[in-house]
Structure formats: structure tokens, C-alpha cells
Amino acid sequence: MTLTQLRVFVAVARHEHMTRAAESLHLAQSAASAAITALEAEHGVQLFDRVGRCIRLSAVGHAFLPDACAVLEGADRASAKLRGVDRKTRLDARETC
Amino acid sequence: MTLTQLRVFVAVARHEHMTRAAESLHLAQSAASAAITALEAEHGVQLFDRVGRCIRLSAVGHAFLPDACAVLEGADRASAKLRGVDRKTRLDARETC
DNA sequence: CGGGCTTACGGTGTGCGTAAATATC
DNA sequence: GATATTTACGCACACCGTAAGCCCG
């Protein structure tokens, strides 16, 4: 499982539309489809119900969405903090090894 | 930033020893070193102070460690939940699209 | 037919391991 | 000289985009 796969999953879940989700991530549809397929295969789970042209969250996918969002938010927050804390503690690097 | 890089970071931070950290992750030292370098370069930050053969967390790295752990725990928890919830809701897949 | 997801396919990039170089004790 | 990290290098795998295939309105 990668952060990229989670991002794709959340985007598709929100848009309920693979093409739009892919566009919102500046990705080709095939890449988004592959990411979802890989995520599903890795866990042996079906995240979406493909009924006709309609692609909607399955029960499992619905249960997973909040967790995926939480992980992504945590990662983004950590990344931002890492950049932000940079300048603050840059001159504080006195170490006693 | 990838989950793999975070895993390497946490392992090195815990072991304070690149070789042991790499072994604990079943990786070559070079791979671990590259992961840390990439993580540092991506954020323009120095996570570790390399003084002699001693490699220890810098101030920035110390501040980042809890966040990295939180992200990893969240990801692992989400992954485990996804596997665990599988059997429970597998037969509940009746959808009305 | 038309829109939408999937599969096939080729290219590029990234990550990994082996091995050599560098540095410290 | 031994131990530990970094750098160099080559390879394999994975990701992405283009394009064709398939299915449902």
C-alpha cells in the first residue's frame, strides 16, 4: 500500500467517477484504474462496486474511506511541519555526540 | 515522501545505526542511506547529524519522529482493518445503483 | 454510436543490491 | 586495519501514458 494509491482511492470515492478523479490528480484513467486494482488485490478486497457505468463505494470501501483520509492528512501534515520547522530550528543544530 | 522512506527513517532513528536499521528492514545499507538522503533532499532538511561513525537524530529529525510514527501506525492500522473487515462484510454487498 | 472502465503494450524512471571509495577510531 | 557510511554502477521492477478492447445506456 502506498500513499499514491490512497490518494487515488479517496479521489475516486469522492468523485464517484474514475475519469474525473484521474483528471483531478493529473493522471490517466488507466493509471487510476491500476492503482485501485492494485490496492484491492493487495488486500483481497473489493473497494468499489462496478455496476454498469456507475462506480460506487462498496461497503468495505465506505468503511475504509475515513481511515485513508486520516492517513493522508497525517502524511501531509507531517510533511508540511517538516518544511515549516526547518527554518525555525536550523540554527539550533548544536549537538553533543 | 513515501511510507517506505518513513519506515527507514524510524528504523534508523530507533537504532541510531544505519547498518542495523537496514538489516531490521531486510535492506542493504545503500538502500537505507538513499532513502534517508531522498527524504532529506525532498524537504530541504537534515534529519540526522553524521558526526564521525555516529549517526544521531538532529533537532529537526527529533521533532519529526513522532509524526512519522503516527503516519506509519495509521497506515498499518488502516491496512489491517481493511483485511479484517473483509470477511465481515463480504456477504453484505447488496447494492442499489 | 457514445461515454466510461479495463486491458495490452512500450518507455521511462526509480529502487535495490553488489562493489568500490571515503572516513573515523 | 577494522568498522561504518556514502557513492558508483548495473539491473530489474513498477509506474505512467497511449491506444485498443469491451460493456453498458
Using DSSP, state whether B96 is helix, strand or coil.
coil
Structure confidence by residue, pLDDT tens digits, B66-81: 999 999 999 999 999 9
At residue A80 the predicted structure's pLDDT band, cuts being 50, 70 and 90, is very high
Q: Residue A79: in which H helix or E strand, if any?
A: helix A59-89
The pLDDT, as a whole number, for residue B94 is 40
Q: HEC profile for B9-35?
A: HHHHHHHCCHHHHHHHCCCCHHHHHHH
Average pLDDT of chain A is 89
Sign of the dihedral through C-alpha A38, B69, B19, B59: positive
Whole-angstrom Cα Rg for chain B: 18
Which residues from A are below 8 Å from B79, CB to CB? 1, 43
Domain, as residue range, for B14: 3-96
C-alpha span between B91 and B36 (Å, rounded) = 44
A84 vs A8, residue with greater confidence: A8
Residues of chain B found within 8 Å of residue A60, distances taken between Cβ atoms: 82, 85-86, 89-90
Distances (CA, A) of B9 to A9, A52, A71, B13, B37: 26, 44, 17, 6, 10
**Rounded-to-10 torsion of CA A42, A21, B78, B62:** 110
Q: Would you say the C-beta of A46 is within 7 Å of strand C? A: no
The chain B residue lying nearest A55, using CA atoms, is: B97
pLDDT at position B87 over 70: no
* Residue A1: CB less than 7 A from any atom in strand D: no
What's the confidence (pLDDT) of residue A97? Answer: 29
Helical residues (DSSP H) of B1-96, grouped into ranges: 3-15, 18-24, 29-43, 59-89
Distance from CA of B16 to the nearest CA of A (A): 12
How many structural domains comprise chain A? 1
Read off the C-alpha cell for B92: 453484505
- Grid cell of B28 as nine digits: 542493504
The CATH number assigned to the domain holding B77 equals: 1.10.10.10
